[in-house]
């Protein structure tokens, strides 16, 4: 078989196939051999040339999903027609309603048994999402009076760590009822900052995602 002159195309093909299999079978029930069998003639060596393990493939799949998500966050952050409070509300609404969110909850393994994946999520949350997407919105909200806080950096981290880590059933194994309780505490906490950014529709959608994750376990 001729050598692929475009390795980036090979990587995309591997990720496309892996994404589909993770969705169909679940991460835990998909093997490297399953991925190879669906690559149309690519060898095991072709996979291991780009990825050392199935976990590396999963991280690349979730990184690609995250990149798409961050593009959406940037659009909301840079929108001129909304104030800071409205942008935060729109970010939460868009994040939980985007089609890929269901895919993420379907694909993801137990984060507690995958420390590299948990570390990747934590770093992305603290080092990328908080400072580059949430913090600019909070600072804008302070300037236009829609957000009141003397500690914008810490509030940005608190909001996104609670949303991405503490309320995430993929990180903390929670029943739908326990997840609902966390959502309500987060809602009340945000209201304490004058940020009524989580409505009942969002809470219901978050419950649905928690149910999806619990069903696949």
pTM comes to: 0.81
Q: What pLDDT was estimated at residue 168?
A: 85
Distances (CA, A) of 89 to 1, 59, 185, 190, 198: 52, 28, 16, 11, 7
Under 8 Å between Cβ of 83 and 146 = yes
Using CA atoms, how far apart are residues 125 and 157, in angstroms rounded to an integer? 8
Could you tell me the pLDDT band of residue 2, with boundaries at 50, 70 and 90? very low
Give 112's DSSP letter.
G
Which of the residue ranges 44-53, 100-109, 121-130, 176-185 would you say has the lowest mean pLDDT? Answer: 100-109
**What is the average pLDDT across 166-176?**
84
Query: 77-117 pLDDT, tens per residue?
Result: 999 999 999 999 999 888 888 766 777 776 667 777 778 88
Backbone angles phi, psi at 213, to 5 degrees: -70, -40
Highest mean pLDDT among 36-40, 132-136, 163-167, 171-175: 132-136
Under 8 Å between Cβ of 138 and 156 = yes
**What is the average pLDDT across 159-172?**
89
Q: What pLDDT was estimated at residue 175?
A: 82
Q: What pLDDT was estimated at residue 87?
A: 94
* Average pLDDT in the chain: 87
Under 8 Å between Cβ of 19 and 56 = no
Q: What pLDDT was estimated at residue 158?
A: 96
Could you tell me the pLDDT band of residue 33, with boundaries at 50, 70 and 90? very high
Tell me which of 99 and 150 has the higher pLDDT.
150
Provide, for the chain, the percentages of residues in helix, strand and coil under a 3-state DSSP scheme, each rounded to the nearest 5. Answer: 75, 0, 25
User: Please, which residues have CB within 8 angstroms of residue 7's CB and are 6 or more apart in sequence?
Assistant: 49, 50
Q: What pLDDT was estimated at residue 4?
A: 55
Of 85, 66, 67, nearest in space to 76 by CA: 85
């Amino acid at each position: 078989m001729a050598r692929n002159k475009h390795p980036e195309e090979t990587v995309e093909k591997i990720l496309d196939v892996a994404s589909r299999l993770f969705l169909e079978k679940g991460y835990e029930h998909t093997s490297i051999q399953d991925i190879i069998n669906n690559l149309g003639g690519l060898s095991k060596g072709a996979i291991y040339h780009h990825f050392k393990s199935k976990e590396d493939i999963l991280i690349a799949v979730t990184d690609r999903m995250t990149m798409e998500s961050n593009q959406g966050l940037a659009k909301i952050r840079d929108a001129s027609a909304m104030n800071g409070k409205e942008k935060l509300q729109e970010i939460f609404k868009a994040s939980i309603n985007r089609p890929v969110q269901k895919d993420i909850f379907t694909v993801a393994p137990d984060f507690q048994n995958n420390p590299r994946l948990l570390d990747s999520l934590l770093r992305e949350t603290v080092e990328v999402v908080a400072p580059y997407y949430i913090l600019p919105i909070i600072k804008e909200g302070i300037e236009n009076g829609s957000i009141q806080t003397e500690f914008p950096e810490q509030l940005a981290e608190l909001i996104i760590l609670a949303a991405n880590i503490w309320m995430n059933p993929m990180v903390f194994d929670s029943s739908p009822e326990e997840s609902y309780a966390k959502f309500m505490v987060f809602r009340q906490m945000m209201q304490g900052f004058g940020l009524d950014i989580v409505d009942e529709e969002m809470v219901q959608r978050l419950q649905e995602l928690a149910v999806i994750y619990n069903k696949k376990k």
